[in-house]
Chains A and B, each alone.
Chain A
Amino acid sequence: MTAQTKIFETPLYPYARHPDQDAATPARHTAVVVGAGPVGLALAIDLAQMGVEVLVIDDNDKVSFGSRAICFAKRPLEILDRLGCGVPMVDKGVVWNLGKVFFDDRQVYEFNLLPEKGHKFPAFINLQQYYFEDYLVARVRALQAEGAPIELRGKNKLTAIDQQPDHVMLSIDTPEGPYSLRADWLIACDGAGSPVRRMLGLDFVGEVFQDNFLIADVVMEADFPTERWFWFDPPFNRGQSALLHKQPDNVWRIDFQIGWDIDREKELDPANIDKRLKAMLGEDIQYELEWSSIYTFQCRRMEKFHEGRVIFAGDSAHQVSPFGARGANSGLQDTDNLAWKLKLIQDGTAPESLLDSYDIERIHGAKENILNSTRSTDFITPKSETSRIFRDAVLDLSERHDFARPFVNSGRLSVPCTYDGSPLNTPDALPQGPARARPGAPCPDLPLGEGFLLERLGGRTAPRFHLLAIGVEVPTGLTVPGVEIEVIALAPDTSPALKERYLGEAPAALYLIRPDQHVAARWPGFDRVAVEAALNRALGKEA
């Protein structure tokens, strides 16, 4: 057990001197990613897979200390599959579907995520962030072995940036002293406290929640089922909430809401944690405390997600409360949205203004996440006496009546973002098609041949677009300069899932699908002019 749980204490990418540090003039890199967390590593892998030279710097040299982000949703797992590391994460992770809600000393409600069949990935897995990052680093190493242009430098701390018209100048400190670099693009994946954002003096405004949560990750042999258990006002934590959730290796995540006025040191004292755990789980539990931490949170975002050649992704751009698992999951959707756009801009295939669509689409996502996680937080921590009275009324009624259950909010779990209203979308020309596959939506998965549809869609080695032609003849010779388009032709009667997820009432359909597997346009048949116009629009080249 000990050997397995010490991943986060071993340097995974230790400092090593690089020739850049001795260069007479600062070396130039295409993309420099600041921060080797889940978001930074995923972005770097995506870029490198498409041949964009990328350097990741981090002031640390290890994976995440402690479990931190533990819930990963289906859409991010699909993104990670495109990056070549979704399957090992699911193999290691704990799959769960059932959530139970307790109020006082009784269960009032349970929900089942009831995942739809015929998807490669489950609705959710629980996996410690350190494992998540470990798999990403392994993927970086595999790409390096294949000769992909990706590099990871530990103990390289960014100390200053200077924006120039066509590049960014970086000052970096290392254990052996400072050096400078130039980057065509700097992507700040440096977390909620983003030093890059501070260096540029950019605002990060939103709502502060006056509350603290104590996390205890404990290793124990327990026969609790693999479910998410959430308590409102339980006898062992009066007036507050608590959460129990299983992770791999018999690690259990336990969160105690502890209020605003607290003595941090006293709360983190293992004797205090022991008292809390025994009150919750019984006097005779045997456990080992792996990690503990106290967190507070805010819901806020940046006004714009890029400033010149500096781009923000993940928590540096937007921060949410942890209820609903919308932090890392939305950060991964940021990278999914950004990588292909940067590649096409770098190649000169798309105009630099394509980057504006990253802001529009991902701010849309951030607003959705902030709205949902703010509402969850207000339900869990009512801000007034009346708010608490209504909250308790909902919980009491939910035990007896079905109507009250949708009001219970212990976290609205992350769902994929549909980019409704994006300037890259072409207006829906297949209104009788299913709404879930409308322009802006991520493509629904389905079984296809020996595998799944999503395995064949999206960009891997190139920012490839796909035409999914269902009962539609697509002539060859469709070209838009600089863009790879691959046609996937399927018969309308391929499977009931194809009909349900892509045809609806339509007898045939043609979908234009972006490199990030989102639908750009759809039609009832093929029209060369319409397809080329939609492709240009998806490249930000609106006529």
Chain B
Amino acid sequence: MSLILTRNTPHADDVYQRLIDAHEGKTKAESDAFNARLILILMNHIGDEQVIAEALAAAEI
């Protein structure tokens, strides 16, 4: 499997809104901690080290 970098979620606006809403009312420190937990959870869900490496590379814009 390789990293998906084309459209992969049917309701883009909804999913994006969920992410923003999750940070509602959080301080910067709380948001940073939340993001870190979220990344770790997603990273484990992906599991595939090659995909994670590709994602890390893709994030380096």
Closest to A401 in B: B41
* Closest Cβ–Cβ distance, residue A396 to chain B (whole Å): 7
List, in ascending order, chain B residues with CB within 8 A of A393's CB: 33, 36-37, 39-40
Map CB proximity to A onto B27-61 as digits: 1 under 8 Å, 0 otherwise. Answer: 00000110011011100100000000000000000
Give complex CA distance A407, B37 in Å: 12
* Closest Cβ–Cβ distance, residue B46 to chain A (whole Å): 12
Give complex CA distance A392, B32 in Å: 11
- B36 to A390, Cβ gap below 8 A? yes
Closest to A402 in B: B44
Map CB proximity to B onto A375-400 as digits: 1 under 8 Å, 0 otherwise. Answer: 00000000000100110111011000
- A397 to B33, Cβ gap below 8 A? no
Residues of B in contact with A, size category: under 10
A224 within 8 A of partner (CB): no
List, in ascending order, chain A residues with CB within 8 A of B33's CB: 389, 392-393, 396
* Closest Cβ–Cβ distance, residue A488 to chain B (whole Å): 41
List, in ascending order, chain B residues with CB within 8 A of A404's CB: 40, 44
Majority secondary structure, A binding face:
helix
- A397 to B32, Cβ gap below 8 A? no
List, in ascending order, chain A residues with CB within 8 A of B40's CB: 390, 393-394, 397, 404, 407
List, in ascending order, chain A residues with CB within 8 A of B41's CB: 397, 401, 403
Give complex CA distance A407, B41 in Å: 12
- B37 to A403, Cβ gap below 8 A? no
* Closest Cβ–Cβ distance, residue B6 to chain A (whole Å): 28
* Closest Cβ–Cβ distance, residue B57 to chain A (whole Å): 18
Give complex CA distance A390, B37 in Å: 7
- A396 to B44, Cβ gap below 8 A? no
List, in ascending order, chain B residues with CB within 8 A of A401's CB: 41
List, in ascending order, chain B residues with CB within 8 A of A396's CB: 33, 37
Interface residues of A in 407-427 (CB under 8 A from B): 407
List, in ascending order, chain A residues with CB within 8 A of B32's CB: 386, 389
List, in ascending order, chain B residues with CB within 8 A of A407's CB: 40
Closest to A398 in B: B40
List, in ascending order, chain B residues with CB within 8 A of A394's CB: 40
- B44 to A403, Cβ gap below 8 A? yes
Give complex CA distance A403, B33 in Å: 17
Give complex CA distance A404, B37 in Å: 10
* Closest Cβ–Cβ distance, residue B37 to chain A (whole Å): 5
Give complex CA distance A404, B40 in Å: 8
Give complex CA distance A394, B43 in Å: 12
* Closest Cβ–Cβ distance, residue B49 to chain A (whole Å): 14
* Closest Cβ–Cβ distance, residue A435 to chain B (whole Å): 20
List, in ascending order, chain A residues with CB within 8 A of B36's CB: 389-390, 392-393
Closest to B41 in A: A397
Closest to A385 in B: B32
List, in ascending order, chain B residues with CB within 8 A of A397's CB: 37, 40-41
* Closest Cβ–Cβ distance, residue B35 to chain A (whole Å): 8
Give complex CA distance A161, B37 in Å: 56
Which of B32, B36, B44 has the most chain A CB atoms closer than 10 A to its own CB?
Answer: B36
Give complex CA distance A3, B32 in Å: 55
Give complex CA distance A390, B44 in Å: 14
Map CB proximity to B onto A228-269 as digits: 1 under 8 Å, 0 otherwise. Answer: 000000000000000000000000000000000000000000
List, in ascending order, chain A residues with CB within 8 A of B37's CB: 393, 396-397
Give complex CA distance A386, B29 in Å: 11
Give complex CA distance A65, B43 in Å: 47
Closest to B37 in A: A393
List, in ascending order, chain A residues with CB within 8 A of B39's CB: 390, 393
Give complex CA distance A386, B31 in Å: 12
Question: Which A positions have Cβ atoms within 8 angstroms of B?
Answer: 386, 389-390, 392-394, 396-397, 401, 403-404, 407
**CB pairs A–B below 8 angstroms (20 shown):** A386-B32, A389-B33, A390-B36, A390-B39, A390-B40, A392-B33, A393-B33, A393-B36, A393-B37, A393-B39, A394-B40, A396-B33, A396-B37, A397-B37, A397-B40, A397-B41, A401-B41, A403-B41, A403-B44, A404-B44
Question: Which B positions have Cβ atoms within 8 angstroms of A?
Answer: 32-33, 36-37, 39-41, 44
User: A-B pairs with the 7 shortest C-beta distances?
Assistant: A393-B36, A403-B44, A393-B37, A389-B36, A390-B36, A389-B32, A393-B40
Q: Contacts A389-B32, A404-B44 given; 20 further ones with Cβ under 8 A?
A: A386-B32, A389-B33, A389-B36, A390-B36, A392-B33, A392-B36, A393-B33, A393-B36, A393-B37, A393-B39, A393-B40, A396-B33, A396-B37, A397-B37, A397-B40, A397-B41, A401-B41, A403-B41, A403-B44, A404-B40
